[in-house]
Chain A
Amino acid sequence: DTGVSQDPRHKITKRGQNVTFRCDPISEHNRLYWYRQTLGQGPEFLTYFQNEAQLEKSRLLSDRFSAERPKGSFSTLEIQRTEQGDSAMYLCASSFSGSSTNEKLFFGSGTQLSVL
């Protein structure tokens, strides 16, 4: 399978716990994105990386959220002190951005987070 891979598919946690999600992008892609999607809404941008550099974070993103992409390969998204409002589908996407920008994003299947 050469698509975007996310782990775990589902996560149930109690309020106040920390959670971490992993994303493995398509291997030749240099950009990696995290989005959040709640029921009945489109995906909402959280942050993105070009190689290992985090280029942008949404202003809506609480400081409880942190993302890393060491060595420009896989990425992790951590949520500290989870709240019930964090319950959502967390989507990872990757793309190749070159001299002629071509922003076709390919998404993984997402991690469904439920905070009890």
Chain B
Amino acid sequence: QKEVEQDPGPLSVPEGAIVSLNCTYSNSAFQYFMWYRQYSRKGPELLMYTYSSGNKEDGRFTAQVDKSSKYISLFIRDSQPSDSATYLCAAANTDKLIFGTGTRLQVFP
């Protein structure tokens, strides 16, 4: 079993839709949770960083962590075609990040 599990998609939504991306993790020692966005043939770009359970909002993006169920989510409101990318969830203790497989998202006009 992978330490961080993520549905690879692809996920296809119309412009303006609310997108929900989800991951589960198995290691209770994970303290930090991140979401990265990766465009084709580019390096991952940090989108959201959370430490504790609860919600964190940044513009159209909301990251949610539920440590009791080991579940992390990213919500994208008013999705745009420019949001089309692969979204990677990641978790860490005090050293390396462990990534999920990534979910490919396509937002069509």
Contact = CB atoms under 8 A, between A and B. Distances in A.
A21 interface: no
Interface in A48-98: 48, 55-56, 89, 91, 93, 97
A112 interface: yes
A43 interface: yes
Nearest to B32: A103
A105 interface: yes
Contacts, number: 62
A101 B96 contact: no
A103 B6 contact: no
A91 B44 contact: yes
A42 B102 contact: yes
B101 to A, nearest CB: 5
Given A91-B43, A103-B32, A104-B46, A43 B88 contact: yes
Contacts of A104: 34, 46, 49
Given A105-B46, A107-B45, A56 B101 contact: no
A47 to B, nearest CB: 9
A108 B43 contact: yes
A102 to B, nearest CB: 8
A42 B36 CA distance: 10
9 contacts: A33-B96, A42-B99, A89-B41, A91-B44, A93-B43, A93-B97, A97-B94, A105-B97, A107-B43
Top 3 A-B pairs ranked by shortest CB distance?
A42-B99, A107-B43, A109-B43
